[in-house]
Amino acid sequence: MNGNIFKMIEHRQSPTHARISVLDDRVAAEIMTAKVLLADSDWTLSRLTSFFKEHKISGAPVNDSTGRLVGVVSLTDILIAQQLNGGSHSANNLDYLQLNVADIMTHNVKVVTMNTPLFKVANLMVTNNIHRVMVAHDKKIVGIISSLDMLRQEIS
């Protein structure tokens, strides 16, 4: 019996029997969140964590003082900063909250256009091990797509 289960799993994962996905015929503009909440590069991590908690988000694009997109920051970045600054059991563990967003953010922001097919957005996320991409139109950020947005498309 177990042999049959493994054969069924192998059969389902076979590239010749690829599953048709709802991502195949949709584009970024159809699922992006148009209200993009931005973090400032000069915020402290204390301010950033309050911002994430207030808006119930786990990451955001980062602007500098001129309004230019300079990075993206997430809860993962905060956790890494905490670990690099003594971990949660250190007497100095709260010092990391005084770091600025610019100190921990990812500078290499992945951007797609409004017409980018969702299967390409998914591939970009998987290839780069990221959880969000920005959507641009005329060189301006007009939306954001998270990995959760992508999952919602697959199960709806």
The whole-number pLDDT of residue 23 equals 67
Strand partners, 44: 100
> Closest by alpha carbon to 32, among 128, 154, 146, 145?
145
Q: 60-115, pLDDT tens digit by residue?
A: 999 998 988 999 999 999 998 888 876 655 555 557 777 899 999 999 999 999 99
Type of residue numbered 19: R
Q: Residue ranges of the alpha helices (H) in 34-107?
A: 45-55, 75-84, 101-104
> Whole-structure pTM over 0.85, yes or no?
no
pLDDT higher than 60, residue 19: no
For the chain, the structural domain boundaries read: 22-155
Cα–Cα–Cα angle for 141, 24, 61, rounded to 5 degrees: 20
Domain 22-155: which topology? CBS-domain (3.10.580)
Averaged pLDDT for residues 35-53: 95
**Burial class (CB within 10 angstroms; exposed 0-12, middle 13-18, buried 19+) of 127:** exposed
Q: Who has greater pLDDT, 24 or 128?
A: 128
Q: 114-152, pLDDT tens digit by residue?
A: 999 999 999 999 999 999 999 999 888 999 999 999 988
Residue 141 CA to residue 61 CA, distance in Å, equals 9
Rg (CA), the chain: 19
Neighbour tally for 45: CB within 10 Å: 23
